[in-house]
Amino acid sequence: MNISLFHSLESENICFKPLSTNDAQEIHNYAADEEVSRFIGWSLMNTLNETSEYIETMVKRELAGTHLYASIVLKSTQEIIGTAMIFNFDKEANQAEIGYVFHRDHWGKGYGTECVALMSDYAFETLQLHKLHASVVDANKGSARILEKNGYVLEGQLRVHYFIDEKYYIALLYGKIQPKKD
């Protein structure tokens, strides 16, 4: 995996950079927000120390070759506005899962769509993956829209799959197969 290339991806408004504990406060600003962390699959970070420890865990996973992570930086201000990830690599089936999380102040501005486009292009062109997939809580309409804008197709649902805040939610399973080359 070309980790350094993943960390240097950029589009019109955003760019990626390596995760670092030096950025713990900026990451904590969204990782500690209940509304943000509600549907992302990691626990709410209650303290800055918890966020730093989780960043260290993510960096170790990346160094082990099981995950790719990047901080998402808004180019106009240089602030970290989210985290991008490619994980659950299946070498035999040549596929992986993607995920992303953004500070609430940056929802609905198109940055998620740009982020998924960057990750998808990298995964298909550089990693030569056959397929990417994502699992979304059905109540997370914005995330589902981001995937659909990037050509991901709703492939199925898992009923009563997620249990969040004492309530069951449906898992929406999205996938995208590597586009055929002309």
Longest Cα separation, the chain: 50
Q: What pLDDT score was predicted for residue 43?
A: 77
Q: How confident is the model at residue 128 (pLDDT cuts 50, 70, 90)?
A: very high
Q: How far is CA 179 from CA 83, 128, 129, 149, in A?
A: 25, 11, 10, 15
**Are 155 and 175 spatial neighbours (Cβ–Cβ below 8 Å)?**
yes
Enumerate domains of the chain plus CATH numbers: 3-130 (3.40.630.30)
* Cβ 39 vs Cβ 137: under 8 Å: yes
Sign of CA dihedral 31, 53, 3, 153: negative
Question: Which sign, positive or negative, has the C-alpha torsion 44, 23, 58, 106?
Answer: positive
User: What tokens appear for 20 in the block?
Assistant: 């670092």
Report the helix count and the strand count for the chain, using DSSP H and E: 6, 7
Q: In angstroms, rounded to a whole number, what is the distance separating the alpha carbons of residues 115 and 104?
A: 15
Q: What is the pLDDT of residues 69-126, one digit of tens each?
A: 999 999 999 999 999 999 999 999 999 999 999 999 999 999 999 999 999 999 999 9
pLDDT digits (tens, 9 = 90+) for 2-33: 899 999 999 999 999 999 999 999 999 999 99
